[in-house]
Amino acid sequence: MALQAASLVPACFSITKEGKSSASLRDTTLFGLSFSDTVKSDLTSSALRSKREFHKKFGAVRAQTVATEAPAVKAAAPGGKKTLRKGSVVITGASSGLGLATAKALAETGKWHVVMACRDFLKAERAAKSAGIAKENYSIMHLDLASLDSIRQFVDNFRRSERPLDVLVCNAAVYLPTAKEPTYTAEGFELSVGTNHLGHFLLSRLLLDDLNKSDYPSKRMIIVGSITGNTNTLAGNVPPKANLGDMRGLAGGLNGLNTSSMIDGGDFDGAKAYKDSKVCNMLTMQEFHRRYHEETGITFASLYPGCIATTGLFREHIPLFRLLFPPFQKFITKGFVSEDEAGKRLAQVVSDPSLTKSGVYWSWNKDSASFENQLSQEASDADKARKVWEISEKLVGLA
């Protein structure tokens, strides 16, 4: 989530193709991110040298996707009342950053079992152990939001586990603000929108029935929003600003061939692609609310937990940026939030009895008190929400 306030720094640094840094007041898209598969080294030479150790290490993690048992309602307590079972929450992108901090905050209560939906088994396992999450409070399942086939396989695997779904948290995101050319998902969608919006859209639609079947007292679907996609904020007004336009690029499939890779049909801009995807996330949350809240009782919500300026998200950037960005957020913008604090805030939206209102975009004030924030005109446009929904249905094969 730290990336959501990245555009606040007035004097920005860009990385040239040759790897040299240059200062530019106009280039506001400095905050890039390397999304390489980080655990290849774990599965190469060491695995080949010891086949036995490889199977012992990898098999134990993979088994978590099938060896889960649905938590049962406990025996009747004195007085005849049943004790509520643990809640079951799926969090995408739970192997680092906000997702991991939220998983930890929920697991530590002892009241939740967290399904960490991640691309990388071993990275997620190491992260859970490093965070001190008790083994009985989490499981790991493979999910690549840049592949519609992977999303469908995840849903199938989750149902085979027979674990209930009480809360779904759509947290994972791709952010490539320094990219000069677009990259694409398995189906050929521009990667940021294809992952952040279309991937989560399909996942949410497929799991809606599972969520509706839950007997948990408060069923919730949560999509992480962004201050940078909200043009009624300072960060949201730093160019390039989010703007879906007439959505001709989205309607054309964002493939960069017969149509633009950008939602509005314009030239590719990595920072804008991320911001546009977040507008789609917030519009999708509201459309879910309008279509399904009254019928199902499910709470649909979005949030911005604050700027996590010290996240490892910025590890690829120049040392000067890593040095200056945290104090800039702490003392200038006052938007700094630690990973632990941001995780606790998202955990509140998951479980706090006072945050059950549906259709709300949650934020926190300087006293860390939650409040209902105001979305920008575009991010709250009901007609655009309906249009995004209908186009997205066609793109992911639901219409």
How confident is the model over 151-209, as pLDDT tens digits? 999 999 999 999 999 999 999 999 888 888 999 999 999 999 999 999 999 999 999 99
Q: Are 174 and 144 in contact (CB under 8 A)?
A: no
Looking at residue 199, the DSSP 8-state letter turns out to be: I
Joined together, the tokens standing for residue 228 give 């940078």
Domain ranges of the chain: 2-35+52-63+84-395
Q: Are 343 and 107 in contact (CB under 8 A)?
A: no
What is the rounded CA–CA span in Å between residue 175 and residue 142?
Answer: 21
Strands 138-142 and 112-118, sheet pairing: parallel
Q: How confident is the model at residue 382 (pLDDT cuts 50, 70, 90)?
A: very high
Residue 62: the pLDDT is: 40
- Per this entry, what is the length of the chain? 399
- Tens of pLDDT, residue by residue over 386-397, are 999 999 999 999
The answer on pLDDT for 243 being more than 90 is yes
Class of domain 2-35+52-63+84-395: alpha beta
Peptide bond into 240 cis (omega under 30): yes
The answer on pLDDT for 141 being more than 60 is yes
Q: Are 90 and 158 in contact (CB under 8 A)?
A: yes
Residue 216: the pLDDT is: 95
Q: How confident is the model at residue 258 (pLDDT cuts 50, 70, 90)?
A: confident
Burial class (CB in 10 A: 0-12, 13-18, 19+), 320: exposed
Q: Compute the 3-state secondary structure of the chain and give helix, strand, coil in percent, each to the nearest 5.
A: 45, 15, 40
User: Both ends of the chain: CA-CA distance in Å?
Assistant: 32
What is the rounded CA–CA span in Å between residue 309 and residue 325?
Answer: 7
230-235-241-245 Cα dihedral, nearest 10 degrees: 0
From 123, 162, 163, 126, select the one nearest 143 (Cα to Cα).
123
Model pTM score? 0.78
